[in-house]
Structure 1
Amino acid sequence: MNKNFVNLIFSVALLSPAFAQEKPLKAFPLSAVRLTESPFYNAQQTDMAYILAMDPDRLLAPYLRESGLKPLAASYGNWENTGLDGHIGGHYISALADMYASTGDKEILRRLNYMVDWLDKCQQQNGDGYVSGVPGGRAMWKDIAAGKIKAASFSLNDKWVPWYNIHKTYAGLKDAYLIGGNEKARGMLLKLSDWCLNLVSGLSDTQIQDMLRSEHGGMNEIFADVYEFTGDKKYLTLARRFSDMAILTPLLNKQDKLNGMHANTQIPKVIGYMRVAQVAGDDSWRDASRFFWETVVNNRTVSIGGNSVSEHFNPSGDFSSMIESKEGPETCNTYNMLKLSKELFLNDRSGKYLDFYERALYNHILSSQHPDKGGFVYFTSMRPNHYRVYSEPQEGFWCCVGSGLENHAKYGDVIYAHDDQSLFVNLFIPSTLNWKERKLSLTQRTKFPYEEQTEILVKVARPQEFALKIRVPKWVQGGSMKVLVNNKAVDVQHQESGYVSVKRRWKTGDVVNVHLPMETRAEQLPDGSPWVSFVHGPVVLAAATQTADLPGLRADGSRMGHVANGPLYPLDEAPFVVSNLASAAGALKPVDGKPLYFTASDIISDEKYRNLQLKPFHEVHDARYIVYWPIASPDALGEMKATLKGSEARKMETDKRTVDRINPGQQQPESDHGFKSENSEMGIQSNRHFRNATGWFSYDLKNPAKDARSLRLTYYGKDTNRAFDIYLNDVKLASETFGGEKGDRFFDVDYEIPEAVIRQGKDKLTLRFEAKSGSRTADIYFVRLLR
């Protein structure tokens, strides 16, 4: 046998079931990976410019104010001075830590240390370890410690999700220490953790579970992390106490109870379950986390890797709202799903987690920042012919701005991983890796996905043996991936979602070439409905349909500035794909000289759309676009168009008359409308949210043109023993008594606005539902103010 061949000792192995039983993999620190020229590198640099455009003193203002120190500058507006004060400051510290680790930029480090130093002053001023920007937080936490708990999904003791808010401070300090290397942040994090430990020490587990009905971010994750680096079990106990059993219990029993739930409230909890499982060796919590991931990724995720409609999990068997709504997948959800996927991958070593990670990274995350001007996207609409809006550095301070600051600063997170004997190449992103402990480096040179290959160059201080494991993506068809070492082919045998393992004695100058053939596929929505998205390799293709009529494209600081509130174009007027599913993808034709650009003129029904070019979704900006196309055979096209036209005409007519609307029982719509209540509760019936009360609840409806003339309420026909009054600006609108006589259906009732209210000429109408003594209001499913 040839001696050189013996020296190679090519061992091509697949990850067998026993693989998952091995010790968990380790992620490389961000500081070990440097991006090189690519869309990801460009996005990183754009993000850095946005970070540097923000004013640390304004972000610090809520913290100084709440600790009794004089702010150095005025607070930012938007969510930063309407109840979530300080949450972006926490995200900002995390982003600074990520960006410094990823780039080594000195100004980023200076800002990181500056933020931590000032928070330290605030913490010292408070004297008990507390530091936060929650408005009026000290008095509220005192009530909590005394057992005075009033929890709802988006509020706690009438404050806007204070645990969610302070979690960003915890996370910022953790990242400043573990990622940014700031030792001061470690001590501050421990003091803040002990403050929480003392705060809840007198509360029963039942009281804490009641409190956790309010969105609380990843508090359990934080305490699991603190336990891991301190070894002090009091923090592991605290992590378990901060784990919401209402969500965990169904997951432990492999039950999907997610329909209608506020998506990004749940995902951070599950990251926490997974972290507790990792540090405590709890297999049941690990299995629950896996089940959640499978449920969300396989049943609730669209082609770009995102999930949710208007922040909530849509029914897994009905994605119609995904197509109809302007409020599609929320970027924060995908930010957190990537964190969960990373932890599951490191634990299980399964490439399936990277298949999702790659899809979401290339398509949702990369597309969620404007590549030239910067700015972050909240909702990525899947409605054909709609668009997205982008934040401005001094204006928008939504949750997806906070997570967006982090997203584009940590692209090096899972490109590579390792154990003691192996180095894993997970993503094909141009980059360099410096594995200091092994005194080796890799350089990955590629234009992927614009070319179907990557080249890996090895550099070692001295020849050494290890296994280089290269991911075999799910989108590579069986047997078509090729691996060459120094131009000699490796006998690649693999199965879906595995890794090719090349074990040899490596030396400087060794070159690995990986050929990654891609093909175009048409993917239906998870519910199997007749809407398709075209995907080439891991890249979702989309078409820009027009660049005009994009009001609010650059969001202002208004409360709803993050929503693309421009007109909805009728779905029946969208371009249709006339084909069957099996042959649709084959009709896409590559555009010469433009990698990943395609035409589809042979299957697009409408003449005005036949010249559309499909291209990577992350390249589509400042435009209305289409990701999901209605698909029908030639025989069924007319019927599908007619059906859509009928339903769209009714909806569009109603939308034209609509002044304002509320989805009761949903977090953001209620928060946006000044929700107040006493003895009120929310629920879900037939996948629709509602709110009722034995006391009362109210909303502030917007009436800017003062032209509202009627109110439409949606009820459920089986509500019994309901007696209540409806008020508008303290004028009684109606008294209602429901006894279940309408049966098993939803129905609308229109109420004429009294002349007395119209004469008030107000641009805000306070709608109040008040139960009569001994009764309850009806379940209110939708509120619509009509002109």
Structure 2
Amino acid sequence: MENFSKLGDNIYTVSEDSVAVQMFYSSELKDDTHNLKLKQIANMPNEDKITLQVSAADGGQVAEGTDLKLRKPDWIAGDAVITVNGKTVKAEEQNGYFVIADVKAGDEITYQMSMKVTAYTMPDKSNMVAFKYGPVVLSSALSTNNIEASNPNGILVRVGTYDSSCQTVITVESDSVETWLKNLEKNMVRIEDSADGQVQFKLKNVDSESENLIYTPHYMRYKERYGLYMYMEEADSKSSQDRILENKESIRDTEMSTDYLYTFDDNNSEAAKNQQGENTSVGVYSGKGYSHAEKNTGWFSYDLKIDPSAEANYLNCTYYSGDSGRTFDLYVNGKKLKTVTINTDAGKNTFYVDTTEIPAEYLTEGSDTITVKFQAIAGKNSYVGGLYGISTSSAKEYDTDASLSALSFDIGTMTPAYDKDTTEYVLEVPEDTETVAMTATPKKESGLVYVGDVLIDDKHPRNITLTGEETVVNLTSKAQDHKTEQAYKITIKKVKKTEQELAIVTDPSDYKGIVGETAEFTVKATGEGLTYQWEYCNAGSEKWRTSSMEGNQTETIKVAAGSWRNGQKYRCVVTGTDGRITVSEAAVLTVK
């Protein structure tokens, strides 16, 4: 049973002839066995030195021969420095402890343990890295967007929702991640403590987005999204592109699924799918979890949603061809669907998906749930599985539309305006522009976007360095099938700055969301020395008021989506240097 209040039991341990200091927190110990009162003053990780004040529990003398043992932590960076009553001593080290022999009432002992930042990589992903400072795990705040949202995960368990807009990757400017980590002391530096007293660290020699990350003690983080293990990559490296592709394939699986299970944990994830079985177990192979059952008698089952209104429903099971030859039966709602024999048709030692249409007669009328059972065949002497993933879907083929859903730049004017049937564009930017940020969004979230031959992360703007008066960007978008492609050409031209007419280029768009989300409205305008002021109008009213929400005097305003704001309208008043004003169209905030 989890019982975190018990952690404090081990700050000190008492034995027949000694007291050991195991953890370094400000605290007091009263030990009648040795007539000892010990006061510890500590402020880790802000300070690397603790002070221990010794006195007698009854005001007299500490029991003769009482030793004080100071744990030597594995994170200590360098030699420990210990003083007794102001004098440095070389304490004897015994079995991982420094021993201060025969302490007396009135003794004051200091114990300095220098700390440094260390990096830890995931066993199966060496480019996924977390950091510690001394004994403390560090993490970085990412956002508070929709922080109250949650999803069920098993029986009476809920987990936070994933925000795909949060940063997950740190791009290093070194030759390699390995080189960056070797110089960690220079690349992750401590800065001034925060106003509430937390130690803080910033990254050096990384991309501009990562330079804004502030790492602090993870145990103090509350009600905010955070990055603990983050991917570390060189820009456009093979590992970066492999990760993007892997994520896209995972998103595609979800897009195609009515319901799915890819986490086999013998716990909440499987319980949420009403896992049943006999002689079954779970494990991990090649970084993927699986479920399987023993030979001849083993079985396991899951309940999955289907779409009763769909023309067809499909069952998709992921197997590993290295298990070739394993044979077992597959049932849906108690009826045998097929006998499965794992094979190498997709190649040796690879994962593959076996898709089977579920006949209508296997479905229960009026129900949107099926029970899928994997059953050993008596006498076959064959394991059941391993099953590395299972999903239901109502479409068998991937989408083949390779067009982008949006294409935009943070600077300049693009002509013509984006249209999915147009593949060539011209972007005019001021002549002193050095870089532009491009956002290219595929039609399906799982679609792929390439700049040249480099697969990019389309969740974030792509910075493009301008190489001369004209820079040509060759863009390729791939459909959900990751095969069908569409080429785009964008010619970026530097033009001499001329006085631009005051005009709204892009009006804010309506926003539909749920309570707790943050709605964003953005306006784009041309002109000189522009200033912005957002206004709002309540539902059913015609009176416009000045907004005070975050970003109310910028291009983008952020509005917390509360139920009371349902139906509010937002518009932006844009003013040029000559005092002329133009007003955007109004956008509506709908909150469900």
TM-score by length of 2: 0.55
Local SS of the residue matching 1:576: strand
Whether the aligned pair in 1 keeps the contact of 2:138 and 2:228 (CA below 8 Å) is yes
Structure with greater helix share of residues:
1
The answer for unaligned runs of 5 or more in structure 2 is: 175-179, 395-592
Whether the aligned pair in 2 keeps the contact of 1:663 and 1:670 (CA below 8 Å) is no
Amino acid at match of 1:784: S
- Distance in 2, Cα, partners of 1:784 & 1:673: 11
Whether the aligned pair in 1 keeps the contact of 2:332 and 2:371 (CA below 8 Å) is yes
Deviations 1:425-456 (A, max 9, x none): 12111111111122121111222222222111
- Distance in 2, Cα, partners of 1:753 & 1:572: 40
Local SS of the residue matching 1:618: helix
Does residue 734 (structure 1) correspond to residue 335 (structure 2)? The answer is: no
- Which of 377, 390, 393 is the matching residue for 1:786? 393
Offset, 1:631 = 2.6
Does residue 703 (structure 1) correspond to residue 305 (structure 2)? The answer is: yes
Deviations 1:606-645 (A, max 9, x none): x344322110011122222111232345xx6533322211
Whether the aligned pair in 1 keeps the contact of 2:333 and 2:363 (CA below 8 Å) is no
- Distance in 1, Cα, partners of 2:265 & 2:198: 39
Q: How does 1:494-505 map to 2 (within 5 A)?
A: 498-504=96-102
Q: Which runs of 4+ in 1 moved over 6 A?
A: 739-742
Q: How does 1:57-136 map to 2 (within 5 A)?
A: none
Structure with greater strand share of residues:
2
Cα 1:523–1:739 change in 2 (3 A) is closer
Q: How does 1:664-703 map to 2 (within 5 A)?
A: 666-668=265-267, 669-677=269-277, 680-682=279-281, 686=285, 689-692=290-293, 694=296, 697-703=299-305
Does residue 410 (structure 1) correspond to residue 11 (structure 2)? The answer is: no
Offset, 1:756 = 3.9
Deviations 1:621-671 (A, max 9, x none): 2222111232345xx653332221111111111123334334697522444
- Distance in 2, Cα, partners of 1:528 & 1:718: 22
Whether the aligned pair in 1 keeps the contact of 2:190 and 2:202 (CA below 8 Å) is no
Offset, 1:758 = 5.9
- Distance in 2, Cα, partners of 1:623 & 1:764: 35
Offset, 1:468 = 1.6
- Which entry has the higher C-alpha Rg, 1 or 2? 2
- Which of 220, 231, 241 is the matching residue for 1:642? 241
- Distance in 2, Cα, partners of 1:664 & 1:588: 34
Offset, 1:498 = 3.0
1:471 alignment counterpart: 71
- Which of 603, 625, 634 is the matching residue for 2:205? 603
1:250 alignment counterpart: none
Whether the aligned pair in 2 keeps the contact of 1:533 and 1:541 (CA below 8 Å) is yes
Does residue 562 (structure 1) correspond to residue 164 (structure 2)? The answer is: no
Deviations 1:100-157 (A, max 9, x none): xxxxxxxxxxxxxxxxxxxxxxxxxxxxxxxxxxxxxxxxxxxxxxxxxxxxxxxxxx
Whether the aligned pair in 2 keeps the contact of 1:572 and 1:645 (CA below 8 Å) is no
- Distance in 2, Cα, partners of 1:562 & 1:777: 32
- Distance in 2, Cα, partners of 1:421 & 1:695: 58
- Which of 113, 121, 128 is the matching residue for 1:531? 128
Offset, 1:774 = 4.2
Whether the aligned pair in 1 keeps the contact of 2:301 and 2:374 (CA below 8 Å) is no
1:548 alignment counterpart: 145
1:316 alignment counterpart: none
- Distance in 2, Cα, partners of 1:682 & 1:599: 43
Whether the aligned pair in 1 keeps the contact of 2:142 and 2:166 (CA below 8 Å) is no
Q: How does 1:186-265 map to 2 (within 5 A)?
A: none
2:448 alignment counterpart: none
Amino acid at match of 1:715: Y
Q: How does 1:295-694 map to 2 (within 5 A)?
A: 402-403=1-2, 406-407=3-4, 409-460=5-56, 461-463=60-62, 464-479=64-79, 481-492=80-91, 498-504=96-102, 506-507=104-105, 509-526=106-123, 529-550=126-147, 552-553=149-150, 559-560=154-155, 562=157, 564=159, 566-567=161-162, 569=164, 574-579=169-174, 580-594=180-194, 595-605=197-207, 607-633=208-234, 638-662=237-261, 666-668=265-267, 669-677=269-277, 680-682=279-281, 686=285, 689-692=290-293, 694=296
1:11 alignment counterpart: none
Whether the aligned pair in 2 keeps the contact of 1:769 and 1:777 (CA below 8 Å) is no
What's the Cα RMSD here? 3.6
Local SS of the residue matching 2:242: helix
- Distance in 2, Cα, partners of 1:744 & 1:426: 48
Offset, 1:510 = 2.2
Offset, 1:786 = 2.9
Whether the aligned pair in 2 keeps the contact of 1:572 and 1:648 (CA below 8 Å) is no
Offset, 1:771 = 5.2
TM-score by length of 1: 0.42
1:119 alignment counterpart: none
- Distance in 1, Cα, partners of 2:154 & 2:118: 39
Query: Greater relative contact order (Cα 8 A, min sep 6): structure 1 or 2?
Result: 1
2:355 alignment counterpart: 750
Cα 1:704–1:613 change in 2 (3 A) is farther
Offset, 1:723 = 5.6
- Distance in 2, Cα, partners of 1:411 & 1:779: 41
- Distance in 2, Cα, partners of 1:720 & 1:608: 46
Does residue 767 (structure 1) correspond to residue 365 (structure 2)? The answer is: no
Cα 1:567–1:457 change in 2 (3 A) is closer
Cα 1:434–1:505 change in 2 (3 A) is closer
Offset, 1:467 = 2.0
2:489 alignment counterpart: none
- Distance in 1, Cα, partners of 2:232 & 2:327: 47
Offset, 1:483 = 1.9
- Distance in 1, Cα, partners of 2:362 & 2:163: 30
1:96 alignment counterpart: none
Amino acid at match of 1:582: K
Cα 1:462–1:536 change in 2 (3 A) is same
- Which of 316, 320, 326 is the matching residue for 1:712? 316
Cα 1:660–1:748 change in 2 (3 A) is same
- Distance in 2, Cα, partners of 1:467 & 1:773: 66
Q: Identity rate of aligned residues, in percent? A: 22
Amino acid at match of 1:476: I
Whether the aligned pair in 1 keeps the contact of 2:266 and 2:281 (CA below 8 Å) is no
Cα 1:705–1:625 change in 2 (3 A) is farther
Local SS of the residue matching 1:712: strand
- Distance in 2, Cα, partners of 1:696 & 1:489: 66
Offset, 1:686 = 4.6
Whether the aligned pair in 2 keeps the contact of 1:457 and 1:512 (CA below 8 Å) is yes
Cα 1:759–1:530 change in 2 (3 A) is same
- Distance in 1, Cα, partners of 2:78 & 2:332: 64
- Distance in 2, Cα, partners of 1:533 & 1:472: 23
